[in-house]
Structure 1
Amino acid sequence: MKRIFVTIAVLALSVISFAQNKKTVTSGNPLFKGWYADPEGIIFGKQYWIYPTFSAPYNKQVFLDAFSSPDLITWSKHSRILDTAAIKWARRAMWAPAIVEKSGKYYLFFGANDIQNDNEKGGIGVAVADKPEGPFKDHLGKPLIDKFHNGAQPIDQFVFKDKDGKYYIIYGGWRHCNIARLNDDFTGFIPFEDGTIFKEITPESYVEGPFMFIRNGKYYFMWSEGGWTGPNYSVAYAIADSPFGPFQRVGKILQQDPAIANGAGHHSVIQVPGKDEWYIVYHRRPITETDGNSRETCIEHMYFDENGFIKPVIITKEGVRKRKLK
């Protein structure tokens, strides 16, 4: 009889231990295998999606994969949702995707060819699909932005939907950032009242990788600083009352921890619908790696203080807990 009670007790402890382990399971960082960077995180329906750059030498960066998850723990890979076979004018350096859903269509914005001047072919393109996993096809047959405006290299685009329903593209490398209003079918632009199309909104220390969101009526503008291959790569932000700023730099909120990883940057932000719950998705380089392209996609919680400022993000190996969408 004593042996039976001991066995039952052991089984009970095992069940409790299993339940605790199951309850405390986390995503881990990186979120999925492979070298991926510049992740765009977003929610479609009851699924989390991440659209990253395939991190490789530019001549091998000729396609985009996507990843989806119901709970931030288990991720499914959707291979080659877009490649240079579908985008005839793109030949290399396809990167930093941004995506938005509008009227049942999914529009994927991307940079290609890493153009260095107005005479080269390439820039920011748009692809469209009926499903978030594609397959995507070229929406225009040419780049949407193929020139340097206000000194901004046409890369690192983010599409922002304002609270009045207007869509803007915010983009730029080479330490300049522009904003432009997209037309209804994303084939071009609507000029601003002064007749201009591209307005510069570059804040202090901006390098690349812009992102914007609204919280409590305030516009949070975020960007990457430093060199993408170096340890000083990081994310800073500003707050304003409109998407046009002016944006006064507040400070850094994401940077490396030499004990965990280097070069944490080029991020996006996910908000749980209807909740003041926020995640930051970003890339970093393992401390074991010296190749600039050895970047992995990670996730952390992002919190705010009582005054609405973003608290510094602590990068971890654990990632975040399971979070299903209702």
Structure 2
Amino acid sequence: MTTRRTLLNMTAALAVSGVSLSAGDSARADDQATLTLPNMPLHDPWIVADKATRTYHLFTSNRERLSGQPGIGVMAYRSRDLKHWTKPHRVFALPQGVWADGGGWAPEVHQWQGRWYLFVTVHNEKMPLPVGASGQANYRRATVLAVADTPEGPFTLVRNGEPVAPKALMTLDGTLYADPAGQPWMVYAHEWIQTGVGTMEALPLNPDLSAKGPPRLLFKGSDSPWAVPQQGQNIVTDGPQLYRTSGGALMMLWSSWGADGYIQTLARSASGDLFGPWEQLPMWLGKGSGHGMLFHTFDGQLMLIVHRPFKNARGYLYEVRDTGPSLELVRQRTDLDFDATPLPPFKP
């Protein structure tokens, strides 16, 4: 076991090298960043680049065999360089007594009004909803919120885990977007299981991130030529993330199922406004790649992380270029993700 003297010596050595440690880092200074992305099972990855500690936090659904901590929830790997990662720690566990008993999907962590908010999708298959357009059984599924003072957590449920969107809607993958006026919105996927053709919708929020009004439609999954119907005419919408380019263009990353599996695709608002109209651009990646998100490294490089394949997934990193009017996928960073069979950007 690492002694207090050893911890102090490690902290001092890091300070000399110019790396500062927060209290949380000091308490876990014996964690060794020995993992690389090929050794890190994950799904729906989300990275926060925390400038205060110069640490990358990679959030994904909690798995007890990896974190060593049980429960439906969220865990996070940590890294200083995007190449070497620590064993994951559970940062959120769904408490007993709330309505949900499963999920922990698509965790996103956003800074809002000085605190860090976790958006995570949970469900309960024993709470049925009326059968929807797909003909499949519907049940309660929704994004809920939890909050912490730092991205390290632990995160505590907000409003006892009540869904942000209306309870009658089967929704998932909520993401936070603040428009140019500072109005917060939750953009989410309305589940194809309920709608048949999945949609992207936006819900206005109050400053405390509770619902302020009814949701509004942004676009349908069938608007994209790259989205292929599954199980009849059903079309999936997954994983939205909004990004404003240097030229003021409003982009949305999102995922669906294509001709060769899960895909990472892109849309752009023709007006620059959240309510579009949205034009569907050529997809970025196929062959099981998807649910990606954009983040900036500490040296300013815009990056994309995706998972693939859909089952038993790992994370893969790509450089992205902000062209002003749009975004371009440049190249896979195999020096960081160690992919022996890299997948180049899709060329239509």
- Looking at structure 1, the residues matched to 181 and 88 of structure 2 have their Cα atoms a distance apart, in angstroms, of 33
Match of 1:62 in 2: 72
Matches within 5 A, 1:61-210: 62-85=72-95, 88-113=98-123, 117=129, 120-141=139-160, 142-149=162-169, 153-172=170-189, 173-174=191-192, 175-186=198-209, 188-191=210-213, 197-203=214-220, 204-205=223-224, 207-210=237-240
Q: How far is 1:190 from its partner?
A: 2.2
**Contact 1:61/1:93 (8 A) holds in 2:** no
Does structure 1 residue 245 correspond to structure 2 residue 257?
A: no
Deviation per CA, 1:51-78: give whole Å up to 9, x if none. 123479xxx9822101222222232344
Instruction: Provide Cα deviations, 1:148-170, integer angstroms capped at 9, x if missing partner.
Output: 54xxx311111123333222111
Structure 2 equivalent of residue 52 of structure 1 = 60
Shift of 1:313: 5.2
CA contact 1:121–1:146 (8 Å) conserved in 2: no
Q: Does 1:232 align with 2:249?
A: no
Give the C-alpha shift of residue 44 in structure 1.
2.3
* 1: CA distance, partners of 2:237 / 2:41: 22
Whole-angstrom CA distance in 2 between matches of 1:99 and 1:242: 23
Is the contact made by 2:205 and 2:212 (CA closer than 8 Å) also made in structure 1?
yes
The answer to which structure, 1 or 2, has the higher relative contact order (CA under 8 A, 6+ apart) is 1
Pick aligned residue for 1:278 from 278, 302, 310: 302
* Kept in 2: contact 1:30–1:296 (CA 8 A): no
Q: With structure 1 as the length reference, what TM-score do the two structures score?
A: 0.72
The TM-score, its normalising length taken from structure 2, stands at 0.67
Letter in 2 for 1:245: G
Q: Percent of aligned pairs with the same residue?
A: 22
> 2:211 is aligned with what amino acid?
F
Distance 1:128 1:95, change over 3 A: same
When structure 1 is superposed on structure 2, of 295-304 and 47-56 the one drifting more is 47-56
Compared CA separation, residues 238 and 273, structure 1 to 2 (3 A): farther
CA–CA distance in structure 2, aligned partners of residues 272 and 318 of structure 1: 15
Mapping of residues 254-293 of structure 1, within 5 Å: 254-256=285-287, 263-272=288-297, 275=300, 277-285=301-309, 293=311
Does the Cα contact within 8 Å between 2:178 and 2:184 map onto a contact in 1?
Answer: yes
Relative distance call for 1:243 and 1:223 in structure 2 (3 A) is: same
Please give the per-residue CA displacement for 1:193-212, whole angstroms capped at 9, x wherever unaligned: xxxx2011124136211111
- Root-mean-square deviation (Å): 3.1
Give the CA deviation at 1:266: 0.6
Q: Which residue of 2 aligns with 1:39?
A: 45
Partner of 2:233: none
Cα distance per residue 1:15-35 (max 9 Å; x no partner): xxxxxxxxxxxx9x9626332
Deviation at 1:134, TM superposition (A): 1.0
Gaps of 5+ in 1: 1-26, 192-196, 257-262, 286-291, 322-326
TM-fit CA distance, 1:233:
0.9
Change (3 A) 1:36 1:218: same
Q: For 1:318, what is the secondary structure of its paired residue? A: helix
Is 1:297 the counterpart of 2:328 in the alignment?
A: no
| Counterparts in 2 of 1:220 and 1:61: CA distance versus 1, 3 Å | farther
In our comparison, the structure showing a higher alpha carbon Rg is 1
Counterparts of 2:306 and 2:281 in 1: how far apart (Å)? 19
**1:87, distance to aligned residue in structure 2 (A):** 7.2
Pick the structure with more strand per residue. Answer: 2
Structure 2 counterpart of 1:117, one-letter code: L
SS of residue paired to 1:89: coil
Q: Counterpart of 2:230? A: none
Q: Could you tell me how far apart the structure 1 residues matched to 2:96 and 2:173 are?
A: 20
Deviation at 1:293, TM superposition (A): 3.0
Aligned ranges 1:206-225 → 2 under 5 Å: 207-215=237-245, 216-225=247-256
- Residue pair 2:120, 2:144 contacting (<8 A) in 1 also: yes
Question: Structure 1 281/61 Cα, relative in aligned 2: closer, same or farther at 3 Å?
Answer: farther
Tell me the SS of whatever aligns to 1:43.
strand
